[in-house]
């Protein structure tokens, strides 16, 4: 067997081993990222459901501002823990949900940014804006769930754009 054939055989074996190693490593990373992403969604969905429930409850009873502040702070804490695990298309979830909740409840929604705001009074209830905030949170919840089963999702619509569309529709 000529030395060129031996060299080609050795090169083929080396490339095969390197390729196998690369694929195995990439697969492990992809599986880890998928597990962490699923854990992030599993952590965020109940917190979003709690915010949604508070929005619904506000239509039938007066809420305690501290309850709203605590629910928002819990959501913000989960976002800080899991935000980097979300796909890039969903990374604005924290600020957009804060905006949606703040749009309806007011300054108390910023208590995780400024502790003095935890006791601010809630804004006057407005059914129209409550519905806008609820629909946005439901939209984000659906996007989070879709991100688990779809290989690629479009970027989340920012709440400011969502609200702008509703403002134009209301005229």
What pLDDT, on the 0 to 100 scale, is given for residue 21?
Answer: 58
User: Could you state, in chain order, the average pLDDT of each consecutive group of 10 residues for the chain (171 residues)?
Assistant: 70 64 58 79 96 95 92 93 88 93 90 83 90 95 92 88 75 56
First-to-last C-alpha distance (Å) of the chain:
84
What pLDDT, on the 0 to 100 scale, is given for residue 146?
Answer: 93
CA–CA separation, 87 vs 28, rounded Å?
18
Regarding pTM above 0.85, the answer is no
What pLDDT, on the 0 to 100 scale, is given for residue 94?
Answer: 92
């Amino acid at each position: 067997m000529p030395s060129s054939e031996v060299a080609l055989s050795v090169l083929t074996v080396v490339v095969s081993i390197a390729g196998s190693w690369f694929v195995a490593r990439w697969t492990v990373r992809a599986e880890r990222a998928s597990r962490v992403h699923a854990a992030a969604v599993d952590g965020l969905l109940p917190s979003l459901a709690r915010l949604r429930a508070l929005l619904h409850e506000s239509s039938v009873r007066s809420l305690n501002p501290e309850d709203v502040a605590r629910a928002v702070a819990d959501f913000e804490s989960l976002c800080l823990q899991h935000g980097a695990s979300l796909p890039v298309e969903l990374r604005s979830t924290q600020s957009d949900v804060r905006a949606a909740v703040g749009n309806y409840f007011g300054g108390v929604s910023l208590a995780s940014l400024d502790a003095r705001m935890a006791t601010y009074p809630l804004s006057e209830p407005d059914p129209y804006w409550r519905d806008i905030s609820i629909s946005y949170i439901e939209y984000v919840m659906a996007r989070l769930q879709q991100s688990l089963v779809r290989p690629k999702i479009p970027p989340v619509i920012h709440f400011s754009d969502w609200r702008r569309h509703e403002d134009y529709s209301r005229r």
